[in-house]
Amino acid sequence: MRNRPIDRILRIIVNPAAGKGRGAHVAPQIEHYLEDLGLEHEIVFTERRMHAAELAREAAMKGYRGVVSVGGDGTSNEVVNGLMAARARRRRSCIMGVLRVGTGNDFAHGAGVPAGIRAECAVLASGHTRKIDLAKVTGGDYPEGRYFCNGIGIGFDARVGFRAQQLTWGAGAVPYVMGALSVLAHYPEPSLLRLEYDGTVIEERLPQVSVMNGTRLGGAFKMAPRALMDDGLLDLCIVRDMGRLRILYLIGHYIFGTQHGRSKVIGGRTHSIDVTALDGTLAIHADGETICTAGKKVRIEVVEKALEILCPPAP
Q: For residue range 198-251, what is the model confidence (pLDDT) as tens digits?
A: 999 999 999 899 999 999 988 888 999 999 999 999 999 999 987 767 777 777
pLDDT at site 298: 97
pTM of the shown model: 0.90
Model confidence pLDDT, tens digit, residues 179-193: 566 666 566 678 899
The answer to whether the beta carbons of residues 250 and 220 sit under 8 Å apart is no
pLDDT at site 1: 47
Lowest-confidence region among 119-123, 127-131, 149-153, 215-219: 215-219
Cβ-proximal residues to 45 (8 Å cutoff; 6+ apart), any chain: 14, 15, 16, 24, 27
Query: Does 171 have pLDDT greater than 80?
Result: no
Q: Look at strands 234-239 and 265-270 and give their pairing.
A: antiparallel
Identify which of 119, 118, 106, 108 has the alpha carbon closest to the alpha carbon of residue 157: 106
Query: Does 70 have pLDDT greater than 90?
Result: yes
pLDDT at site 3: 57
As a whole number of angstroms, the distance between CA 152 and CA 173 comes to 17
Query: Does 269 have pLDDT greater than 50?
Result: yes
Average pLDDT over the chain, rounded to whole? 89
The better pLDDT of the pair 287, 92 is held by 287
> Domains in the chain, ordered, with CATH?
6-127 (3.40.50.10330), 137-304 (2.60.200.40)
Give the DSSP H/E element, type plus range, for residue 237: strand 234-239
As a whole number of angstroms, the distance between CA 64 and CA 137 comes to 28
pLDDT at site 48: 95
pLDDT tier at 166, thresholds 50, 70, 90: low
What DSSP line would sit under 145-213, residue for residue?
Answer: EEEESSEEEEEHHHHHHHHHHH--S--TTHHHHHHHHHHHHTPPPPPEEEEEETTEEEEEE-SEEEEES
Other C-beta atoms closer than 10 Å to the C-beta of 204 total 15
The percentage of residues in the chain with a pLDDT greater than 90, rounded to a whole number, is 67
Mean pLDDT calculated for residue range 270-291: 94
